[in-house]
Structures are given as structure tokens and as C-alpha cells.
Amino acid sequence: MFIPYSTPIALIDSGIGGLCLLKYLTRKYPNENYVYLADNENMPYGNKTAQFLQKRLLNLINYLYENFHVKLVILACNTASASSLEYLSKNSPVKVVGLNILNLIKDKDYKILCTKLTAKKYKELNIYICNKLAQYIEENIFNKTLLIKKIKSVLTKANIIENNIILGCTHYELISNIFKNVQSNKNFILPCFDFVNQLQITPSQTKVGDILMLSTKPSKSYIDKLWQIYKN
Ligand code: DGL
């Protein structure tokens, strides 16, 4: 019997952060094929310029489109979405979607935790830049004790009086449980969770559900790390 191959959905982040979006997405659409691309060669995205990221992401998308015929690209990264979504929507050969913090604010009292480049886009909002936090999470993802200590110190420094905290970087959302444990009196808002909830695609009819993990700095141990986090 001929089983049509369903072209994959691509997800891009600078590293491990977007895996939280992949986890939600594969739960909602288990029969899709996915390509997860970690641009760890350029991690952290938060310290790059918008111009650099726009060109870089367009190159990555062209690569994914030409080699895997991806049908949709998801920027599983707040920094990439804030800096480049508009540019990529105009220039990409395939549909690109991304995270949008603005949708989540409404009239709540909130503080957004994010990277330097995301903050540039949302200057007028109530923001706290967590300098180098994404790299710290990337490097210490398996050391819960260190992560708890780090998040405690970040939240103490940030001294947040608002009731709602938006985790505006996918690396932070990946460890949202730690944020919640450290500061249980706040409401944490999760952009990837909301994005996947809102996303409507026509599900693939083929029961395949393959996932391909890729990184731009090729290393077997990094791919193993992506799998380990995804399965966790
Ligand atoms: N995980 C990314 C984000 O959501 C970027 C982190 C970084 O590379 O600076 O913003």
C-alpha cells in the first residue's frame, strides 16, 4: 500500500528551549513529522542583532525547506520571533509562525522576563532582562540544584511586585516547574503553552510521528542531550 509521506513541521531555537514547545506540540499532534533544529553554533540569540538573526534564520529556513520540504516553520524562540518574524513572513519560501508575548498581556499586571534582544522589541512593556540566563539553563539543564539556586537569585534580584510573570524565553519555559517552585505565590504565563493551544493545523493522515533532531554545531552528545530533555 502506498502511504503518502507527510512533510514535516520545523521548529527552530538557539538551543534546548524550544523543546518545551515540541513537547506540547507532539502531544497535540502526535502523527505529524517534526524536525527540531537547535542553532547552538549561534547560542545565545539574545545577544545578537536583529539583522544578524533575520539573515541567519532565513538561511536555516531555506535549508530546511530545500532538504526536508518542511510545510511550516515555528520559531520556537521568543528572541527569534520578536526580532525576525515580520521579516521572515515576507521573505521565507514557506509559512513561518512564532511566539507573541503581546497576546498574553491583556489588562493583567505583569512582568516579562526575557533576553536583551526581545526587550529591544518590547521597550514600552514592563520587562526584566535576565542576562545570560538562557546560556546558564542550556549548560546546567540536568543539574536541578544549580538551577533552583540560579532562579532564586534571578527572582530575588528582579524583585517582582506584579502578580503575573511571563516567561518570555523558551529556555525559561522549559524549566517553568522550577520557577513555580521557587516563587509559588505568582502566576506564571507560558507563551509556548498558549501558542500550541491556539495553533490549528489540519492533522496529517499518516500515522508516522517521526522526530528528527538537528544542531548546527554537529555533535552526537548534543543530539543525545536534546532527546534526553525531550523525553523527560
Ligand atoms: N530560547 C530563546 C528565546 O526564547 C533564546 C535564548 C538565547 O539564545 O538567548 O528567547
As for ligand 1, residues whose beta carbon falls within 6 Å of it are: 13-14, 17, 43-46, 77-79, 115, 118, 134, 169-171
Domain shared by 87 and 108, yes or no: no
What would the grid cell of residue 90 be?
A: 515576507
Q: Which of 22, 74, 79, 136 has most ligand 1 atoms within 8 Å of CB, for mutation?
A: 79
Helix (H, G, I), strand (E, B) or coil at 27: helix
Domain shared by 176 and 112, yes or no: yes
Domain shared by 61 and 115, yes or no: no
Domain shared by 186 and 198, yes or no: no
Domain shared by 7 and 95, yes or no: yes
Distance 110 CA to ligand 1 centre (A): 20
> Cα–Cα distance between 205 and 198 in angstroms, integer?
21
| Model pLDDT, residue 103 | 86
- Average pLDDT per block of 10 residues along the chain, 232 residues long: 72 98 96 96 98 98 96 97 98 97 86 97 94 97 98 97 96 98 96 97 79 96 98 93
Predicted TM-score of the model (pTM): 0.96
Domain shared by 22 and 73, yes or no: yes
Looking at ligand 1, which atom is closest to the CA of residue 43?
A: 8
| Model pLDDT, residue 209 | 81
Strand-pair partners of 41: none
Q: Which of 21, 170, 174, 215 has most ligand 1 atoms within 8 Å of CB, for mutation?
A: 170
Q: How many domains does the chain have?
A: 2
Distance 82 CA to ligand 1 centre (A): 11
Q: Determine the structural domain holding residue 26 and report its residue range.
A: 2-100+194-231
| Model pLDDT, residue 4 | 52
Q: At what angle do helices 133-140 and 144-158 cross, to 10 degrees?
A: 170
Domain shared by 11 and 89, yes or no: yes
Domain shared by 86 and 106, yes or no: no
Looking at ligand 1, which atom is closest to the CA of residue 170?
A: 4
Domain shared by 169 and 203, yes or no: no
CATH number for the domain spanning 127: value is 3.40.50.1860
Looking at ligand 1, which atom is closest to the CA of residue 17?
A: 1
Domain shared by 26 and 135, yes or no: no
Domain shared by 94 and 201, yes or no: yes
DSSP state of 4: P
Find out whether 78 and 169 touch, Cβ atoms under 8 Å.
yes
Residue nearest ligand 1's atom 2 by CA: 77
Looking at ligand 1, which atom is closest to the CA of residue 118?
A: 10
Strand-pair partners of 37: 12, 214
CB atoms within 10 A of CB 229: 18
Domain shared by 39 and 95, yes or no: yes
| Model pLDDT, residue 1 | 47
What would the grid cell of residue 206 be?
A: 499518516
Looking at ligand 1, which atom is closest to the CA of residue 44?
A: 8
Query: Which residues lie closer than 8 Å to 187 by C-beta, 6 or more apart?
Result: 163, 164, 165
